[in-house]
Amino acid sequence: MRKIKTASDLEKWRQDIIKKQKRDEIVVSVCGGTGCHAYGCKKVRDQFAKAIKKNGFMDKKIRLRFTGCRGFCERGPIVTIQPQGVFYQRVQEKDVDLIVSETINQGKIIDRLLYEDPNTKRKIDSEKEIPFYKAQHRLVLGKNGLIEPTKIEDYIGVGGYQSLTKALFEMKPEEIIEEIKTSGLRGRGGAGFPTGKKWEDCRKAQGNMKYLICNCDEGDPGAYMDRSLLEGNPHSVLEGMIIGAYAIGGSHGYIYVRHEYPLACKNAEIAIKQARRAGLLGKDILGSGFDFDIEIAKGGGAFVCGESTALISSIEGRVGEPRSKQIHTVTRGLWGKPTNLNNVETWANVPLIIEKGSKWFASIGTEKSKGTKIFSLVGKVKNTGLVEVPMGITLNEIIFGIGGGAKNGRQIKAVQTGGPSGGCIPASLFDLPVDFDSLTQVGSMMGSGGMIVMDEGTCMVDVAKYFVHFLEEESCGKCLPCREGLKRMGQILDGITEGRGDEETLMLLEDLSQVVGDTSLCGLGKTAPNPVLSALRYFRPEFEAHIYQKKCPAGVCTSLIQYSISEDCTGCGACAKVCPMKAIEGEKKQIHRILTELCSKCGSCKDVCKSNAVIVQ
Amino acid sequence: MERKTVKITIDGRLLEVEEGNTILQAGRQFGIHIPTLCYMEHLTPYGGCRICVVEISQDGGKPFVDTACTYEVKDGLVVQTQTPRIIRARKMLAELLVASAPNVKIAQDIAARMGLLKVRFPMEDNRCVLCGLCIRMCYEQMDGKALGFAGRGTGRKVSMPFNTRSETCRLCRGCDYVCPGVIVPCHGVKEPGELCGRCVRLDDMPYCCPEGTFGCFCDKNPL
Ligand SMILES: Cc1cc2nc3c(=O)[nH]c(=O)nc-3n(C[C@H](O)[C@H](O)[C@H](O)COP(=O)(O)O)c2cc1C
Ligand code: SF4
Ligand code: SF4
Ligand code: FES
């Protein structure tokens, strides 16, 4: 690797890299994100390496690239082949030789490995045409597929650190802040605070030492956009932070990563070392006279440690516990010094804005929410994964367009956005444009970008109960309303789902929710009642059915449901065989019967019945 | 040197107070009562019990709820300590508190003062209200680091690190002195002429510290 001392050195290096890369005729990219690792992508990559070596490819130059997460993790391991742009999914080790001999050698496409649109049954060979990708706008995530995260050359080859040179040599710090302000960028960590304003406040704060922190705590169950970014394109986060440091006057940075993200930690660490060696971090960056360095701080992985003051306590080596925040961290943060904390995705947006300008950025999105947002789309939709969409796209477009609609021909009922303390939005509001303010308006929030789709088989009381219990577990316990209040909310919801609710229950639950939200110390407690309040707002009849009729309309809450067998029973006996309680009786070819007293409501019989004769009421 | 003062309004009264005071301190200087639990003079405000919540509005903005014990005065703050929103919140907090620790005197006192007549949650019997006074007393006033919080959420409790008495503990009993869980709750009306005063006597205590948390002084000492 070279040590670069000036901006033109960097440009020269880039040209050399591009020239060298042009010589490769074929690029095979194997996705190496954490999701694909679970499906064995490492073996696929090793097999490719072996096959390419074995075949010799005298006349063709082939490069094998192990990229970061491509978002469509459910279909992993994902392999793309350039220049044709073929997109193969669920590739196994044994498929590799075939891909090499057919696609690479002869340019033939292997049908079996293509993605098939579940709605049209059409096989699709290029990434751009797959509905999951088609409606996306991959500004931030897009480069993940083009680079190997552990190679700084790859990042520089696609224009990396260009924005840094521009910022350092063509712009004054104030101009950078102004540019970020006019771009309209808002924090992607949840609250949507205007980033430029935060930077400005931190720049103006008194102090000779200022800190920058990148928040990659990501305690949200099921969300992994921050991980995929830091893991798949760590240099873009570093570049954003260096630009930010120059604009704010920061002298040291931390990337706070939960230790459950080993690959993200590793790739970020490698990237920091490379950037230091190349002269992009440390003393006298690119000969500009500006010094800044970054280190990794590993967190224990508590949800509450993502909260700014708790995160700072944790880096300082104390218990990760929130404290009163009247004085903002931009004035008094880490070690009592002015500190600017931003989310991973926020930082990764910065180089884009500097490169393409605030006008361009502000042209994407809605009036008050600009740019794109990465969501982690999970639940009862056909396509799940990471999706990056322009702000203002409707929930319909995400859930039915990108997500492909409901799985198993069921009806979609609601979507939960914003992580555990977000809210449930009913299907009737799916034409809502997705941005910070409209989500808040309907009682949910952007949060970090979790998006869980639920269908008619989901009980909303059960969902509210699940999230309240999650947050009860994650509460730090410092303040009374969150610690005791969430416990009591959990008990009340347990009661409702077990048929112990009465007239006063809902009133108490609503009252309690409001007080917990009003009086808790930190954002966790303040937002914790959201799932309950939004469920009550949109799905009140479901709560009432549990309380007054002692019925769970979705057939989920085991205390309130009963299994029985209808006339459709053919008497095959499959159910009786699987019932662990021996609660099903009946003669062969006769209608069977469930002995309610013995039934444990496990649902095994319903799963095996071919004639759909097992009914839940 | 004279310290700068700021003007704030609490419950409609315009007050001039020294900078650096909290809303709670300002209120107390002028006889405005705001109930507290985890606050104690000369210890760092903690903001844990939230009993001292008030409504604050700044520069004519929408009122928000925060704790009087942690919020520092600023010119032009308008504070309300008795709005329906605050009364309702405090009452609920008192209910949560007393349901968790019904045999701690201060929990009963607060509940009674909020006019609570009924508790709608199943009762528990915790002796510690997690106010953190003992920990701050030990650390800030006695220069000991003998106590700390362990566990998270409902599993949180006061404990000695590594369950051993730290060398910095000099058995000063500062923790015992500030702990509201050590005060024996009132056992009700006595016969005429009988003196009680159990809540302030030390000889008749069923336990000294909550659940042996301080683990140091008496013959029930587990260590
Ligand atoms: C309980 C709780 C958990 C949070 N977790 C995260 C997190 O995992 N990642 C994150 O970036 N922000 C998280 N936040 C938000 C941060 O406090 C902070 O607002 C954010 O990192 C600021 O960055 P931004 O302005 O770029 O959004 C959390 C907040 C709360 C209250
Ligand atoms: S709201 Fe919950 S997580 Fe936040 S300080 Fe209070 S107890 Fe801790
Ligand atoms: S032991 Fe006593 S002083 Fe310490 S936190 Fe518990 S109630 Fe408060
Ligand atoms: S007295 Fe203010 S929070 Fe406890």
Q: Where are the alpha helices (DSSP H) in A78-161?
A: 96-98, 105-106, 131-134, 152-157
A416 and A521 assigned to the same domain: no
A471 and A429 assigned to the same domain: no
Per-residue confidence (pLDDT) for residue B197, from 0 to 100: 72
* CB pair distance less than 8 Å for B71 and A324: yes
Shortest Cα distance, chain B CAs vs residue A336, angstroms: 16
Q: Where are the alpha helices (DSSP H) in A279-322?
A: 308-315
CATH number of the domain bearing residue A528: 1.20.1440.230
Residue in chain B lying closest to A472 (CA): B153
- Select from A420, A455, A490 the last residue of a domain: A455
Tokens coding B21:
């005071």
Shortest Cα distance, chain A CAs vs residue B75, angstroms: 14
Tokens coding A78:
């994902």
Tokens coding A56:
């010799």
A165 and A57 assigned to the same domain: no
Q: Which residues of B, range 100-159, sit inside 8 Å of A by Cβ?
A: 100, 120-122, 130, 148-149, 151-156
The values of phi and psi at residue B217, to 5°, are -100, -45
pTM, rounded to two decimals? 0.91
Please report, as a single letter, which amino acid is at residue A38: A
Average the pLDDT over A208-234 and give the result.
92
Tokens coding A429:
């509001």
Please, which pLDDT band fits residue A59 given cuts at 50, 70 and 90?
low
Find, among A449, A452, A472, the residue nearest to A460 by Cα. Answer: A452
Find, among A74, A131, A69, the residue nearest to A405 by Cα. Answer: A131
Q: Is residue A130 scored above 50 in pLDDT?
A: yes
For atom 6 of ligand 3, which residue has the closest CA? B128
- pLDDT tens digits for range A281-298: 999 999 999 999 999 999
Which listed ligand is nearest to A304 at the C-alpha?
A: 1
The helix/strand/coil state of A575 is helix
Residues on chain B touching A474 (C-beta within 8 angstroms): 152-153
B45 touches chain A (CB under 8 A): yes
Q: Which of A473, A479, A488, A513 to mutate to test the pocket of ligand 2 (most atoms within 8 A of CB)?
A: A479
* CB pair distance less than 8 Å for A326 and B66: yes
- Select from A518, A549, A580 the last residue of a domain: A549
CATH number of the domain bearing residue A450: 3.10.20.600
* CB pair distance less than 8 Å for A475 and B100: no
Average the pLDDT over A73-84 and give the result.
88
What residue has token string 């884009």?
A352
Residue bearing the bigger pLDDT, A458 or A616: A458
A254 domain residue, yes or no: yes
A21 domain residue, yes or no: no
A52 domain residue, yes or no: yes
Please, which pLDDT band fits residue B223 given cuts at 50, 70 and 90?
very low
What span, in angstroms and rounded, lies between the C-alpha atoms of A246 and A171? 10
Tokens coding A119:
């709605």
A130 domain residue, yes or no: no
- pLDDT tens digits for range B94-140: 999 999 999 888 999 999 999 999 999 999 989 899 999 999 999 99
What span, in angstroms and rounded, lies between the C-alpha atoms of B91 and A370? 42
Q: Is residue A362 scored above 50 in pLDDT?
A: yes
ipTM entry: 0.91
Shortest Cα distance, chain A CAs vs residue B49, angstroms: 5
Find, among A39, A110, A44, A109, the residue nearest to A75 by Cα. Answer: A39
- Distances from the Cα of A538 to the Cαs of A104, A149, A434, A460, in angstroms? 54, 44, 18, 10
DSSP state of B107: H
Q: Is residue A437 scored above 70 in pLDDT?
A: yes
Please, which pLDDT band fits residue A72 given cuts at 50, 70 and 90?
very high
- Domain membership of residue A588 as a residue range: 562-616
A281 and A332 assigned to the same domain: yes
Per-residue confidence (pLDDT) for residue B222, from 0 to 100: 47
Tokens coding B33:
């009562």
Tokens coding A10:
């960097």
For atom 4 of ligand 3, which residue has the closest CA? B134
Per-residue confidence (pLDDT) for residue A607, from 0 to 100: 87
A415 and A350 assigned to the same domain: no
Instruction: Dump strand ranges (E) for chain B.
Output: 5-10, 13-18, 53-57, 64-67, 78-80, 148-150, 157-159
- Distances from the Cα of A216 to the Cαs of A65, A257, A597, in angstroms? 25, 5, 50
A291 and A405 assigned to the same domain: no
A19 domain residue, yes or no: no
Mean pLDDT of chain B: 87
- pLDDT tens digits for range A189-206: 988 999 999 999 999 999
A286 touches chain B (CB under 8 A): no
Residue in chain B lying closest to A524 (CA): B153
A412 and A430 assigned to the same domain: yes
The helix/strand/coil state of A373 is strand
Tokens coding A423:
């809210």
For residue A409, count CB atoms less than 10 angstroms from its CB and return exposed for 0-12, middle for 13-18, buried for 19 or more.
exposed
Please, which pLDDT band fits residue A77 given cuts at 50, 70 and 90?
very high
Residue bearing the bigger pLDDT, A504 or A301: A504
CATH number of the domain bearing residue A111: 3.40.30.10
* CB pair distance less than 8 Å for A518 and B97: no
Per-residue confidence (pLDDT) for residue A172, from 0 to 100: 95
DSSP state of B72: B
b/e for B63-77, b at 16 or more Cβ within 10 A? Answer: eebbbbbbbbbeeeb
What residue has token string 């180089």?
A351
Q: By the 8 A CB rule, do A480 and B96 touch? A: yes
CATH number of the domain bearing residue A177: 3.40.50.11540
What span, in angstroms and rounded, lies between the C-alpha atoms of B19 and B73? 7
Per-residue confidence (pLDDT) for residue A270, from 0 to 100: 96
Per-residue confidence (pLDDT) for residue B168, from 0 to 100: 83
What span, in angstroms and rounded, lies between the C-alpha atoms of A27 and A84? 10
Please report, as a single letter, which amino acid is at residue A385: G
Q: By the 8 A CB rule, do B23 and B9 touch? A: no
Per-residue confidence (pLDDT) for residue B190, from 0 to 100: 73
Residue bearing the bigger pLDDT, A132 or B218: A132
Find, among A321, A93, A338, the residue nearest to A203 by Cα. Answer: A338
A91 and A229 assigned to the same domain: no
Q: By the 8 A CB rule, do A248 and A330 touch? A: no
Q: To probe the interface with B, which of A303, A319, A468, A483 has the most B CB atoms within 10 Å? A: A483
Evaluated on CA atoms B197, B201, B206, B208, the torsion sign reads positive
Q: How far apart are the first and last CA of chain A?
A: 67
Tokens coding A385:
């994964």
Tokens coding A144:
């993940």
- Distances from the Cα of A301 to the Cαs of A191, A278, B28, in angstroms? 20, 32, 41
- Distances from the Cα of B73 to the Cαs of A518, B15, B18, B56, in angstroms? 21, 11, 8, 10
Tokens coding A413:
């009922």
A7 domain residue, yes or no: no
A476 touches chain B (CB under 8 A): yes
Q: Is residue B206 scored above 60 in pLDDT?
A: no
Considering only CB atoms, A487 lies closest to which of B71, B130, B154, namely: B154
What span, in angstroms and rounded, lies between the C-alpha atoms of A277 and A2? 8
A115 and A194 assigned to the same domain: no
Per-residue confidence (pLDDT) for residue A480, from 0 to 100: 97
Find, among A404, A392, A330, A389, the residue nearest to A366 by Cα. Answer: A392
Q: Give the CA radius of gyration of chain A.
A: 27
- Select from A502, A519, A549 the last residue of a domain: A549
Q: Is residue B220 scored above 80 in pLDDT?
A: no
Mean pLDDT of chain A: 92
For atom 17 of ligand 1, which residue has the closest CA? A307
What span, in angstroms and rounded, lies between the C-alpha atoms of A391 and B7? 44
Most distant CA pair in chain B, distance:
58
Beta strands A252-258 and A293-299: pairing type?
parallel
Which listed ligand is nearest to B46 at the C-alpha?
A: 4
Other beta carbons less than 10 A from residue A446's beta carbon = 28
A2 domain residue, yes or no: no
Please, which pLDDT band fits residue B211 given cuts at 50, 70 and 90?
low
A180 and A306 assigned to the same domain: yes
B96 touches chain A (CB under 8 A): yes
A201 and A286 assigned to the same domain: yes
For atom 1 of ligand 2, which residue has the closest CA? A525
Ligand 2 atom index nearest CA of A475 = 3
Q: Is residue B221 scored above 60 in pLDDT?
A: no
Find, among B19, B8, B78, B69, the residue nearest to B40 by Cα. Answer: B69
Considering only CB atoms, A483 lies closest to which of B67, B85, B153, namely: B153
Tokens coding A492:
């009340």
Per-residue confidence (pLDDT) for residue B199, from 0 to 100: 67
Per-residue confidence (pLDDT) for residue B207, from 0 to 100: 56
Q: To probe the interface with A, which of B121, B126, B135 has the most A CB atoms within 10 Å? A: B121
Q: Is residue A186 scored above 90 in pLDDT?
A: yes
Please report, as a single letter, which amino acid is at residue B78: V
- Total structural domains within chain A: 5
Find, among A215, A286, A274, the residue nearest to A246 by Cα. Answer: A286
A153 touches chain B (CB under 8 A): no
Per-residue confidence (pLDDT) for residue B215, from 0 to 100: 61
* CB pair distance less than 8 Å for B47 and A479: yes
A143 domain residue, yes or no: no
Shortest Cα distance, chain B CAs vs residue A186, angstroms: 22
A277 and A418 assigned to the same domain: no
* CB pair distance less than 8 Å for A481 and B151: no
CATH number of the domain bearing residue A589: 3.30.70.20
